[in-house]
Structure formats: C-alpha cells, structure tokens
Amino acid sequence: MDPILRIRDLVVHYMTEEGVVHALQGINLDINKGEIVGVAGETGSGKTTLALTIMRLLPVSARIIRGQILFNGMNLLELSEEEMMKIRQSHISLIMQGTSDVFNPLMLTGLQVSEAIEFHKDEPFHEAIQETKQLFSDVGLGTRVLVSLPHELSVGTRQRVKIALAISTQPELIVADEPFTGLDPTLQAYLSDLIIKLHEKYGFSALIISHNLLRLFEISHRIAILYAGKIIEINNTSNIYHHPIHPYTKGLIGALPDIKSPKSKRLIEMPEIYVNPLNPPKGCVFWPRCPYAKDICKEKEPKLRKIDGALVACHFADELKDLSPWEFWKEQGG
C-alpha cells in the first residue's frame, strides 16, 4: 500500500511565559491509502497538537520547528493558507476534539451539511440536499434531524452529524480527535461500528486519536502509541494487543480490564510520574517511569526501529519483546 500521509521528523513547540513546551518531539508516521491508524496516548502526550499540525490549524503560540507532512507527496507545511483551505474539507476533514460545536446554532443541521457540499463540490442546491439525506441515512439519522437546530439534538446525534459533515465532500483522509469523548459506552460502541461501516462504503483513510485504546482496537488497522510527544511503538492492531513490546505499551495493555488477563491477575499500575513538557527527559522519554532503565536510557534517545514487524523505540526491545505485560512489570517490581 502507498502512504497517503507521511509524517517525517515533526517537531512542534508552544511558546509560553513559563518556557518552551515540547509538544511533538520528532514524529514519524505513515498512513496508507484506505488505512485506519489509531493514535493512543495519555493526556498531554501531543495527540491534539498532531491533529492540528496536519490541518495547519495550530494556535499562534505554536511553532513548527522542523519536519514534513507529505499528503499524496505534497508537503502541507509548505502550502500557502489559500492552498491549505482547499485541502481542508475537500481532501482532509477534521473532526475536532470536545463538544464545542462546529455548527451554526441558528441554521438547520441539514442545511449546514448541504451548504458544505454545495460549496466544496460545486453542486446545485437540490443535488446537495439529496446527498445530505443519503449521508444522514448512512450515519443512521432520519429526516427529522435534517430539519432540527443543533441545540435540539443530543450529544450523540450531534456527533453523528459531525461525522456526516466530515465525510460530506468524500475526503481522502479523515482526522478525528477523541471522537468518543463525552459519549456513554453504548454510544461509543455504536460510533465504532458506524466508523467501520462508513469506511467500508467510502474507503477513506483515517487518523483516529483517542486515549481509549479499547475503542481504537475495534476500528484501527494499525496503532501508534504516543508518549510525551514521541511515538514509542507502532504495530498492527492484533500485534499491539497480543504482543506489546515497549515497556509503556506493555503497561497500557496490562492495565486494560478483561483482556488477556485472567481475573486472578491484577491489573498493572505503572508508576504515575509526570513528564514536564517544558523540560522533557533526556534520552528515552519513558526512563523516569521504566523499571528497566539503564544508564544508556538516560543519555541516548532510542529511535524507532523494526522488531518482529513492529516499530519500537527502546534500547532493550530485543531483550524485552517476548515478556508478557505481567512478566515484565512484575519481574521488574512494577
């Protein structure tokens, strides 16, 4: 498969009164055509910054220090704002984090979607309305929602309209930042199924960002684990789940309830150590929390390298790769 998106050595900082926030520290990630890649990471790991950098929607305090974001071979970071406007929505859609709505509160939701179709696909009104009806039906919504104002809709319904809006111009790539946040588990499960069905129908590529690994397992072909602005492991979903290699990934998998963990096994609790983004650790970003850390880990940055089909950033990945999460974290006293 060819990559539709290729991110190379992406470094992004925020300038604050307290100092420089190292939000992304050299991201390398590919998304192949038709592929869904999940990005998981705890709060502050840089997930939203990654989404906003791809869309070129960073706040003014942000600085892209270096790197490339190649979309179909074209470096998005070199485009003018006018060129980037054309890319947004027509080629790459963003589903934003949070419940803050993208909708005009005074306009019927159906009209808002059909207006986007008219504008971006240059279609006449009546055709755009027909397409909107079809899109609403694709996301499981009836005509009543078409003629509702946004505030009349529940959070789950608004999220589905947001998805209809995102796919309305048949973009090649969808970037979704925390699409499950704020929804109850039943709605999250519904949304997962919906994304899979829409992907089958429309064939888009997607970068789905979430701190909810279980949901990412359901919908992603591959998963990248982000920690303190660095990707520390990438693998296909099944392997990340069954054979996590990096100590942090092992900790995340071992902390998940009811998978691979017989009831007698306790869930793994990694030590809670806050990474200061103003002064991130030298060497391996995970060393302050890693029970296996050696001197080299504190000095030399481990780069992503191939191990058993995965890409892993750990100096000792060869030694640790076959330990289960419980073997690793218990043996190391974690």
Ligand X SMILES: Nc1ncnc2c1ncn2[C@@H]1O[C@H](COP(=O)(O)OP(=O)(O)OP(=O)(O)O)[C@@H](O)[C@H]1O
Residues near ligand SF4 (CB under 6 A) are 246-247, 284, 286-287, 290, 292-293, 297, 302, 314-316
From Mg ion, ligand X, ligand SF4, none, interface partner of 297 (C-beta below 5 to 8 A by class): ligand SF4
- From the list 70, 81, 147, the residue with the least C-alpha distance to 114 is 147
Q: Name the segment binding ligand X (CB under 6 A); options: 44-52, 122-130, 265-273, 317-325.
A: 44-52
Give whole-number Cα distances, 158 to 13, 51, 210, in Å.
32, 21, 19
Q: Would you count residue 45 as binding Mg ion (CB under 5 A)?
A: no
State how far the alpha carbon of 317 is from the alpha carbons of 38, 247, 288, in Å: 22, 9, 17
Burial class (CB in 10 A: 0-12, 13-18, 19+), 124: exposed
DSSP-assigned letter for residue 192: H
Binding mask 90-129 for Mg ion (x = CB under 5 A): -------x--------------------------------
One of 44, 140, 280, 283 touching ligand X (CB under 6 A):
44
| Residue corresponding to tokens 């906003």 | 52
Interface of this chain with Mg ion, residues 308 to 327, rule: CB under 5 A: none
Using the rule CB under 6 A, give the single segment among 43-51, 64-72, 166-174, 298-306 that binds ligand X. Answer: 43-51
334 binds, among ligand X, ligand SF4, Mg ion, none (CB under 5 to 8 A by kind): none
- Minimum separation from the CB atom of position 41 to ligand SF4 (A): 15
Cβ nearer to ligand SF4, comparing 2 with 318: 318
Task: Pick the binder of ligand X from 48, 53, 157, 188 (CB under 6 A).
Answer: 48
Token pair recorded at residue 53: 């950098």
Residue window 200-239: x/- pattern of binding to ligand X, with contact defined by CB under 6 A: -----------x----------------------------
- The least distance separating ligand X from the CB of residue 46, rounded to whole angstroms, comes to 4
Please choose, from the candidates 203, 36, 201, the residue with its C-alpha nearest in 3D space to the C-alpha of residue 134.
Answer: 201
Give the whole-angstrom CA distance, residue 110 versus residue 104.
11
Applying CB under 6 A, among 110, 171, 244, 277 the residue interacting with ligand X is 277
Please, what is the end-to-end C-alpha distance for the chain in angstroms? 39
Lateral strand order in the sheet of 3-16: 19-32, 3-16, 62-71, 74-75
Q: Which does 234 bind (CB under 5 to 8 A by kind): ligand SF4, ligand X, Mg ion, none?
A: none
Give the up-direction half-sphere exposure of residue 248: CA atoms within 13 A in the CB hemisphere: 25
Question: 254 near 261, Cβ under 8 Å?
Answer: yes
- Cβ neighbour number for residue 7 with a 10 Å cutoff: 23
Q: Are 249 and 239 in contact (CB under 8 A)?
A: no
State yes or no: residue 46 binds ligand X (CB under 6 A): yes
- Which of ligand X, ligand SF4, Mg ion, none is residue 43 near (CB under 5 to 8 Å by kind)? ligand X
Interacting positions 48-77 with Mg ion (CB under 5 A): 48
List phi, psi (to 5°) of 275: -90, 120
Pairing of strands 205-210, 173-177: parallel
Binding mask 67-106 for ligand X (x = CB under 6 A): ------------------------------x---------
- Closest CA relative to residue 180, chosen from 153, 152, 216: 216
Q: Please, what is the minimum distance in Å from the beta carbon of residue 65 to ligand SF4?
A: 23
- Binding residues for ligand X, rule: CB under 6 A, are 14, 16, 21, 23, 41, 43-49, 59, 61, 97, 211, 277
Binding residues for Mg ion, per CB under 5 A? 47-48, 97
